[in-house]
Structure 1
Amino acid sequence: MKTKNISFSTALMMLLLPVIISCQKVVDLKLKDASGQLVVEANVDNNNTSIVKLSQNVAFTSTNTYPPVSGATVTISDQSGKSYTLSEGIAGNYSSGQLQGISLNTYNLTVQTGGKTYTARSTMPPAIALDTITAKNDEFNNGKDRKEISVSYFDPAGIKNQYLFLMYVNGVQVNGIFVYNDDLTDGKHVTAQLRQDDIDVYPGDVVKVEMQCIDKANYTYWFTLEQQQQQGPGGGVTPSNPPSNLSNNALGYFSAHATQTKTIVVK
């Protein structure tokens, strides 16, 4: 199948379903030609942010506009049974300022639209501290003063952890997907390079990094997208929609994650 772009916060190179929304986090999605399928981009975090974006996939040959899905009933409930109904603001965007996620709690998403019900579940992992963001000379800078960004954190021992990083340069989110687990770094201090060739970073630029602690299902989702992105258009492998934790053949994801950000001015 061919792919088609959808707007959701930056531009991704390969077949991409959404990146996490936090206020105005957006990623350019590329989906298989599955016209009419519901696309769900749903997030709960520990900073009192609950945002769900609903849209509808269109055929590859259609205009690059994915119609928002309005008038849906969107609820998120916690493991105690307390339920929050999200309100629609901008067409297709549903939010609640009352639900603050708590680590180790499980959250259930229910979307009712078009006579169908879609559900998903996600458990928020413990928050892990993002220690530092650093900038060093890019080893492939070809004589330019271009910088490369790295992050460091300590991975707790004996606990399975998965991480997703979002990076912004002067307020613009880069296209790269940066996802890690601790299969080889359990209990260690980790330094990870956020390699990307979308936006050059130079001294004086403001770089913000968001670190999300995500569950295993969302790690699988983002890791699949990362692998397809790295293969590029000539990778020789037919892209496919990544595995989703949503029911009823919906596209996208539901992520309950602990998050934090740090910002530096590059020197």
Structure 2
Amino acid sequence: MKNSLLLFVISLSFFSCEKKVDFQLEKTQPKLTIEATIENGQAPIVILSNSIDYFSTISLQQLSGIFVHNAIVEISNQRQTHRLKEYAIPVGPGLFYYYYSTDSSSLSTAITGELNMAYTLNITSQNEQYSAATTIPNITKKIDSIWWKPTPNDTSNKKATVIMKATDPPGFGDYVRYWTKKNRESFLPGLNSVFDDLIIDGTTYELEVEPGFNRNKSWSDNEKESVFHKGDTVAVKLSNIDKATYDFWRTMEYTYQSVGNPFSTPTKVISNIKGNALGYFGGYASQYRQLVIPQ
């Protein structure tokens, strides 16, 4: 009884000391956001947009208006430099998605991703200059095989678990990122999509492949949809990446998962962009495997 009374008094003291605190967040100027990638056998893709306020009300019209146009975007390898061209893809009535890629009218200098090749990116927009560098490494971490098994404790007997067997070469420094694709859907990265080799260095190992996570949907919708089912055709994409790309996605995904969690440690997203901009430039050495799960 005395203990209960003491807890009650302590609780009252906390309530009596409670004070409402209002934070007035200053509005910040939009920053250039760069999402640039190059993959072995593929043309470079660069998406330029302006950042928006965290508490902004987002609409399709607003998203369509954040793209940055008429920038000078150049990519170089160890042999030549190519200026990219801006393209537009219609995504709805009066709405377009914009990106920069190979200029089809200047194919003599066009650059396609190659293994073990370094690249630099230079951007000029609104009289400001930005740059970044990346590497497409060799494909060192190999996918040996993939298969499926019934999901444990699945009373519906419709779900499937995908397993991958992979080999990591001896020597630290093999970083990877993975995606999965179901049927005709797009490739989606995992919720935690990047890994190093600190624990599995030089070993052959098996692990469960988590379905990709659609960051444009709610957590509850992802929990329902991020599963494999019998009858699915599943593709797995595994890419070797350099450390800068690994650091960007490691910190980006941690920040994404910790939003709204008062107990999480604040994290700064690590970018490899030089200049007052957000984002990253990443190279991917990719391999693909496909699995058909029977009904």
Please state if 1:88 is matched with 2:86: yes
Counterpart-to-counterpart distance in 2, 1:155 and 1:92: 38
The TM-score, its normalising length taken from structure 1, stands at: 0.78
Higher helix share: 2
Moved more, 227-236 or 181-190: 227-236
Question: Which residue of structure 1 lines up, in the alignment, with residue 197 of structure 2?
Answer: 182
SS state at 1:89 partner: strand
Question: Which residue of structure 2 lines up, in the alignment, with residue 117 of structure 1?
Answer: 129
Deviation per residue, 1:11-67 (Å, 9 max, x gap) = xxxxxxxxxxxxxxxxxxxxxx86511111111111132111111111123232431
Counterpart-to-counterpart distance in 1, 2:138 and 2:203: 17
Question: Which residue of structure 1 lines up, in the alignment, with residue 207 of structure 2?
Answer: 192
Code of the residue aligned with 1:180 in structure 2: it is F
Higher relative contact order (CA 8 A, sep 6+): 1
Counterpart-to-counterpart distance in 2, 1:229 and 1:191: 27
Please state if 1:207 is matched with 2:224: no
Counterpart-to-counterpart distance in 2, 1:231 and 1:140: 29
Quickly say closer, same or farther: Cα 1:105–1:166, change in 2 above 3 A.
Answer: same
Code of the residue aligned with 2:77 in structure 1: it is D
Matches within 5 A, 1:1-267: 35-64=29-58, 65-66=62-63, 67-80=66-79, 82-90=80-88, 92-96=98-102, 98-128=110-140, 129-139=142-152, 141=154, 143-158=156-171, 160-170=173-183, 171-174=185-188, 176-196=191-211, 197=223, 198-231=225-258, 233-234=260-261, 236-237=263-264, 240-267=267-294
SS state at 1:184 partner: coil
Counterpart-to-counterpart distance in 1, 2:180 and 2:285: 16
The TM-score, its normalising length taken from structure 2, stands at: 0.71
Deviation per residue, 1:142-175 (Å, 9 max, x gap) = 5543122232221111252000001122214446
Code of the residue aligned with 2:229 in structure 1: it is Y
Code of the residue aligned with 2:287 in structure 1: it is Q
Deviation at 1:219, TM superposition (A): 0.8
Contact 2:77/2:111 (CA < 8 Å) preserved in 1? no
How many equivalent residue pairs? 234
Question: Which residue of structure 1 lines up, in the alignment, with residue 107 of structure 2?
Answer: none
Q: Which runs of 5+ in 1 are unaligned?
A: 1-32
Task: Calculate the aligned-residue CA RMSD, in Å.
Answer: 2.4
Question: Which residue of structure 2 lines up, in the alignment, with residue 29 of structure 1?
Answer: none
Counterpart-to-counterpart distance in 1, 2:160 and 2:260: 26
Contact 2:251/2:267 (CA < 8 Å) preserved in 1? no
Deviation at 1:265, TM superposition (A): 1.6
Deviation at 1:200, TM superposition (A): 2.3
Deviation at 1:140, TM superposition (A): 5.7
Answer with 1 or 2: which has the greater Rg.
2
